[in-house]
Amino acid sequence: MITCYICYTLNPHRLADFEEYARRWPPIIARCGGRLIGYFLPKEGPNNIALALIDFDSLASYEVYRQKLSEDSEAKANVTHARETRCILVEERSFLRRA
């Protein structure tokens, strides 16, 4: 099993837009084959960092997931929402394994 760790640098003036973006993902992620652990928004400390954690059986299953996302109309609409609102400034992905 691997976990996709997505670190977002946010526009701190657009947190509500990012929260809307994050709330739209769970059914899309599940439909495309990921297992969402959660989205984590700023609470204390920096107000421009958020995280998402998504589990996959393997990197191969992640690649299938990415292909399905690219074809999913709701996923495309959500990405468009993020672009149009400019709520995400930087998005970085890493893959982790559990100890």
Question: What pLDDT score does 46 carry?
Answer: 86
Question: What pLDDT score does 45 carry?
Answer: 86
What is the pLDDT averaged over residues 73-99? Answer: 96
| Residue bearing the bigger pLDDT, 98 or 5 | 5
Structure tokens at 52: 């998402």
Structural Rg of the chain based on CA atoms: 13
CA distance 24 to 20: 6
Mean pLDDT over the full length of the chain: 96
The CATH number corresponding to 2-96 among 3.30.70.100, 3.40.50.1110, 3.40.605.10, 3.90.330.10 equals 3.30.70.100
Question: What pLDDT score does 55 carry?
Answer: 98
What is the pLDDT averaged over residues 79-95? Answer: 97
CA distance 69 to 57: 17
Tell me the domain boundaries of the chain.
Answer: 2-96
| Residue bearing the bigger pLDDT, 10 or 43 | 10
> CB within 8 A of 97, min separation 6: which ones?
1, 2, 3
Q: Is the pLDDT of residue 40 over 90?
A: yes
Question: What pLDDT score does 63 carry?
Answer: 96
Question: What pLDDT score does 12 carry?
Answer: 94
Residue identified by tokens 């997505």 is 6
